[in-house]
Structure 1
Amino acid sequence: MWTSFAALALFAHSTAAQGNMLRFACSQLVVDRVDPLVNPGMIYTPHLHQIVGGNSFSITMDPTNHDLPAKSTCTSCSFKEDLSNYWTAVMFFKHKNGTYKRVPQVGNGGPQGKLVNKGGLDVYYIPSGKVTAFKKGFRMLAGNAAETNPSKVAKGNICHRCWTSPNEDQFVGSAPCTGTDTVDIPADPKCKMIRQTIIFPTCWDGKNLDSPDHKSHVAYGQGSGANGGGACPSTHPVKLPQIMYELMWNVTTFADKSLWPTDGSSPFVYSMNVGGPAAHGDYVFGWKDNSLQLAMDKNCNLNRDCPAAGLHASQPAEYNACTVPQQAPEEVDGWLKALPLGDKAVKA
């Protein structure tokens, strides 16, 4: 128990040192084989994503004419003013017979309290001193969907935690991407859940809203982890709020090792058919007006109304109800004969 309290204190201290932060739930808008950032205009993209946020999400989303706040009529995130889109790859369990099943997700507990999600993920905006909110049309990517070498991935930015508690509300470990967290996806029957963390760069060149690789216009500052980001390099001098995704993959029903592959391969892979080093997240900014800048300036906190910035936190029934149909229709639930790669996925 003392270890748990110490872990909570450590994380609370590391974030409190940066001032207040936004931490809120985003339920699943859709699970779909589209990617308007990397593969704009394409359906049945190379791998499957889970998408959250504003319901104007589409296969193109040209930043010159796609105004997310204006085009969206609802958001699957709890702040009504946030019509941004956030997405990640999908985790699958690989059965020894060669079939696959999407790993279910749950909301996240932690030192700041439980968040209610219907699938999806939790989003953090962590400031460090005075920060400049993202501009209209801004977008970026964290991680590399093709990476297979964990030594080439900074564990302080992309990591996984073996969550040994059967309840997401019972906090396990310490601050994100520290301690025994790993770049690889844990493969241990003791894991009841696997918490995935993706931390985005916090430094911007101040000029480009995007770049050809969706990364070069931003950079990580000094240090790593969920601390709001350290000092920025001269090439990217503008300090941004630190965005962090947290996802809770519930692997409880897959703990029986007799179901695992017998060839020694991991029972858990992302939708690219690759493990933890390929974890990645996509972000397209879509907050209304200057609400995010005000939220950072006025020290808005966690998942609560913040009148000083005009933020309104909705109830789960409202944001859970915001969904869109697949634009690349295919099976994504139940046991699948193969991962959704290339041809449409079909039931086993």
Structure 2
Amino acid sequence: MAAISLSKLNKHYGSLFHAVKDVDLEIADKEFVALVGPSGCGKSTTLRMIAGLEDISSGDIRIGNRVVNDLPPRDRDIAMVFQNYALYQHMSVYDNLAFGLRNKKTSEAEIKAAIDRAAGMLGLHELLARKPKQLSGGQQQRVALGRCIVRNPEVFLFDEPLSNLDAKLRAQMRIEIKRLHAAIPTTSVFVTHDQVEAMTLGDRVVIMRDGRVQQVGTPLQVYGKPANKFVAGFIGAPAMNFVNVTVRSDGGATTVEADGLKLTVGGADARALAAYNGKPAIMGARPEHLALGEGAPGASFDAHVEVVEQLGSEILLETRVGSHGITVARVPAETVIASGDRVRVSGQPGRLHFFDPETELPITAA
């Protein structure tokens, strides 16, 4: 097994496009790290540079104790799972699993033992004689995972491996990958545009934007203490609500005001906002931290219900507060509510987020 270290990693495509910008990242031995961000953020390019499928423009990549900048992929002791499975269609599942080992001149007895082990872990024994075209998407992806397992590499790399699966299969494969990492705790880097996948799979999550790392932390850290407004809005489903507010502080109570909204804030939030008296700020509120009904004094507001989404276990409300759209999540499923209703909404004390409108960094107490 091996740790991965990225130091000042850059990727230029000619003189016009700087895809990856000064990425520094330390991935511990046996750690599972998820790279997540919108399309074009540089996450897949970063993964491909680790794999050796893209040349780096500057910086260093270490796998274990080796700088691998100039090593070809076959010499990096990595195994990669692709979005499109990349299986040989004319070969059986068994031969797909054996292909890499046969290229390394591994004995057939060792190949069979490795395939038996992988097939047992992934439920592939009944599929070994089939061709890929006879398999479902989920089965093909399990074969792709098995091909990595039999090689026993130092590093697993996953390039959006679940993107082509339907919602149910995606959930099942997330569990398969989680079980796989528990059984074979190999250093793993998982690239996805789906923040739910990143949060459920990663020991740590790396959020990228425009080629730069925005934040690195555990799922709870990036959810609870986002490094900036972009991270706050990207992590969490449904997404965080943002409202442009004006801060008012008279030395006693501190309030934030917007069209149709006036909330009292206290504690650390009030201390942090003291320097913004009379100035604009951005307030963030996660939908799951809003509830129907009267809350703590000064923590409630009126809203007009525009859309009711009945999810079975809960209700999701799209509301209008003055000129602002605000999503309220996790309303009990048995709540009788309809589009056009007016409701009272309250926020959980201490669960609001505030950002500077220019830097988009969190406003925190000194």
Q: Which has the higher helix share?
A: 2
Structure with the larger RCO, 1 or 2 (CA within 8 Å, 6+ apart): 1
> Which category describes the TM-score, using the shorter chain as reference length?
under 0.3
TM-score (ref. length: structure 2)? 0.20
